[in-house]
Amino acid sequence: MHLYEFIEELARKGKISYGFQLIKDSEIRRRYDEKKGEEYAKKVLLEARKNFDDFMLINFLSDDDFQDFVNKYNLFVAGARFNPDKWIIKIYIKSRSGKAYREM
């Protein structure tokens, strides 16, 4: 559900364009807003839902956009390691990388 909201927000701000994808400066990407509006955002969201399944939807976003999504919702890949002295398994944050999250 968060991914749909994120795509709708990107569309509302005009961040689904090729020109936006060429911007590499994170501060400019964060402040970028073409104010496309609600109607355009709904249209993009409905087209995405119509044309993509869950797997394709995750890969629809560029690496930079997906990393922004991971950062916004504080997502991470968890790992587990066994502690033989205490006979417990510790869960830890293995990565906060969008690429690692996609591979999961």
Q: How many CA atoms lie within 13 A of 79 on its CB side?
A: 8
* pLDDT for the residue 29: 85
- From 18, 57, 17, 50, select the one nearest 35 (Cα to Cα): 17
Which tens digit of pLDDT belongs to each residue from 39-72?
A: 999 999 899 889 988 888 888 888 888 998 999 9
Is 76:96 a contact under the CB 8 Å cutoff?
A: yes
Residues linked to residue 90 through DSSP beta bridges, in sequence order: 81
Report which DSSP code applies to 61.
S
Rounded CA separation 16/38 (Å): 14
Q: What pLDDT shows up at residue 74?
A: 93
69 to each of 7, 57, 89, 102, how far by Cα in Å? Answer: 9, 13, 29, 11
Asked if pLDDT for residue 1 goes beyond 80, the answer is no
Q: pTM of the full predicted structure?
A: 0.75
Q: Where are the beta strands (DSSP E) in the chain?
A: 77-83, 88-95
